Copies of this chain bind each other. A is one copy, B any other.
C-alpha cells in the first residue's frame, strides 16, 4: 500500500513553522499499522501547486493525507483545489454548517461570511465533523486513491489522524503485516564503523530493515522487522537485535527512549549508589544531561562547574601546587577534581572533565580538543583517560563530545565494577 502526504501552507516554506504534524502521522502509522509514508510534498498556499501535487499523489498512491488550507481566510484554498482536481463543484455541507453554527453560538462568537466558507466541500465527498475545531475533515476517492483532507492546526490534525485517518487507512490496507521496531544507541563508534559492523548481518535477517541515525556524538541503529504475524515479527526483531548486540558489544549504551544519562542513572539506582560531578570545559553539560532525567536526585547529589582555577581549589580541593605543576588541563587535575567532588559530597562515584574547548587555549602537547576524564568509584583511586575530539574547531562540539565521553566512561566503569 502506497501512502503519501501533502502539506500546504506558506509558513512551511518560509522557515516560520516546523512541521511536527507529519512526524506524528508517520510515527502512529508505523507503530499501529506497520506502514510508512512513501513521499511527503510541501507546497505553499498556491492553488496551481496544490492541484498539481494532489493529482500526482493520487495517481501514484492508494491513500493521500492532505493537511492545511481549510481555515476561513482568503489564503485557504484546499477545499476549492480538491473540488477542481476531482472535477466537481464545491457545495455547502449542511452538517458542517450546522456544526459551525452550533460551535460559534456556544462560544458567543458571531459567524462571519468567511467562517461559512469552512462548510464548503467537494460534491460527493464524505464529510467528517471535527470535534476539536470548526473546519470539517472530508474524504474523497479518485481512481483507486482515497484522499483525506484535514486542517493543519496541530490539535485538530492529531485528533483527526488518530480517530478518523488511521482507521480509514487500516480499512483500506487490509492486512499489512506486523511491524516491530527497536532503536539501539551507540556512542564512541563513527557511523561508517557502525555500518561496517552491521552490514554483514543484512542477508541473515531478510525480514529486518537496518537503518542509521546520527545524533552527534551518538550513532543510532534502527531495526524494523515486518512479518505476517506478530510472533514472527518479534522473533525476527529479537534475532536481529541479538546479532547486532553481539557485534556492537558494549558500544550499545541504551535502547529506545533511554538516554546515556538515563543509562548511567539506572546503573546507579540499581546499586543504590550516588554520584558527584566535577566539570570544567563541559561547563555544566553533564549535570544538565543528568538532571533531564526525572528522579535524578535519587542518585545525583550535585556537581561543581569549576571553570576558573580558584573554583577548582575552593569547591573541589584541587591543590594549588598541582595546578601550577601540571596546568588545569591535565590528568593530575582531573584526578583531584574527581576525588575532591566525591569527598566533598560524600558520593560513591565521581566523574570529572577538564580540557580545552577552544577556540583558543591548548599547547603543542595538548591542543584544543584535548580532554582529560577521571572516574572514581568506591574501590579504587581515580582512573584517568585522555581523549581528543576530532572536531576541535567547534567549541560546542568539543563540549558535547567531552560530556558524552565522560558519561560513557562512567557507564563502563559502573558496568565493570563489582556489585
Q: Name A's B-contacting residues (CB within 8 A).
A: 10-20, 23-28, 30, 36-46, 49, 53, 71-75, 107, 109, 112, 114-115, 132, 153, 155, 190-193, 195-196, 199, 202, 210-214, 216, 222, 224, 277, 279, 281-288, 290-292, 294-297, 300-308, 310-312, 314-315, 344-346, 357-360, 390, 394-397, 399
Taking the nearest CB of chain B, how far is it from the CB of A215, in angstroms? 9
Docked-complex contact A192 and B112, CB < 8 angstroms: yes
Docked-complex contact A395 and B13, CB < 8 angstroms: no
Q: In this complex, what residue of B is CB-closest to A306? A: B302
Contacts of A42 in B (CB 8 A): 39-42
Contacts of A224 in B (CB 8 A): 14
- Picked from B17, B39, B191, B297, the residue with its CB within 8 Å of the CB of A53 is B39
Top 10 nearest A-B pairs (CB, nearest first) are A283-B291, A302-B311, A15-B27, A284-B284, A284-B287, A15-B26, A73-B195, A284-B288, A40-B42, A72-B192
Q: In this complex, what residue of B is CB-closest to A18? A: B23
Docked-complex contact A191 and B222, CB < 8 angstroms: no
Contacts of A74 in B (CB 8 A): 195, 199, 202
Copies of the protein in its oligomer:
2
* Assembled-state Cα–Cα distance A42/B292 (Å): 32
- Picked from B211, B296, B302, B308, the residue with its CB within 8 Å of the CB of A11 is B211
Docked-complex contact A192 and B114, CB < 8 angstroms: yes
Contacts of A314 in B (CB 8 A): 344-345
Docked-complex contact B14 and A36, CB < 8 angstroms: yes
Q: Name the residue among A15, A71, A153 with the largest chain B CB count within 10 angstroms.
A: A15
Q: Name the residue among A18, A39, A43, A305 with the largest chain B CB count within 10 angstroms.
A: A305
- Knowing A192-B112, A395-B292, say if A345 contacts B284 (CB, 8 Å): no
Q: In this complex, what residue of B is CB-closest to A13? A: B37
Contacts of A279 in B (CB 8 A): 284, 287
* Assembled-state Cα–Cα distance A305/B153 (Å): 31
Task: Give me 11 A-to-B residue pairs in the complex whose CB atoms sit less than 8 angstroms apart, sorted by A's number.
Answer: A13-B26, A18-B19, A18-B20, A72-B192, A109-B190, A112-B192, A282-B291, A283-B292, A292-B395, A302-B307, A303-B307
Contacts of A112 in B (CB 8 A): 192-193, 196
Contacts of A310 in B (CB 8 A): 301-302, 345-346
Contacts of A358 in B (CB 8 A): 294
Contacts of A302 in B (CB 8 A): 304-308, 310-312, 315
Docked-complex contact A300 and B307, CB < 8 angstroms: yes
Docked-complex contact A285 and B284, CB < 8 angstroms: yes
Q: Name the residue among A43, A44, A288, A302 with the largest chain B CB count within 10 angstroms.
A: A302
Docked-complex contact B195 and A114, CB < 8 angstroms: yes
- Knowing A294-B358, A359-B294, say if A222 contacts B16 (CB, 8 Å): yes
* Assembled-state Cα–Cα distance A213/B71 (Å): 11
Q: Name the residue among A17, A25, A301 with the largest chain B CB count within 10 angstroms.
A: A301
* Assembled-state Cα–Cα distance A179/B399 (Å): 35
* Assembled-state Cα–Cα distance A305/B284 (Å): 8
Docked-complex contact B41 and A14, CB < 8 angstroms: no
Contacts of A311 in B (CB 8 A): 301-302, 345
- Knowing A292-B395, A301-B307, say if A17 contacts B213 (CB, 8 Å): yes
Docked-complex contact B44 and A38, CB < 8 angstroms: yes
Taking the nearest CB of chain B, how far is it from the CB of A132, in angstroms? 8
- Picked from B13, B39, B192, B287, the residue with its CB within 8 Å of the CB of A43 is B39
Taking the nearest CB of chain B, how far is it from the CB of A79, in angstroms? 15
- Picked from B17, B72, B192, B286, the residue with its CB within 8 Å of the CB of A284 is B286
Taking the nearest CB of chain B, how far is it from the CB of A146, in angstroms? 19
Contacts of A397 in B (CB 8 A): 155
Docked-complex contact B305 and A305, CB < 8 angstroms: yes
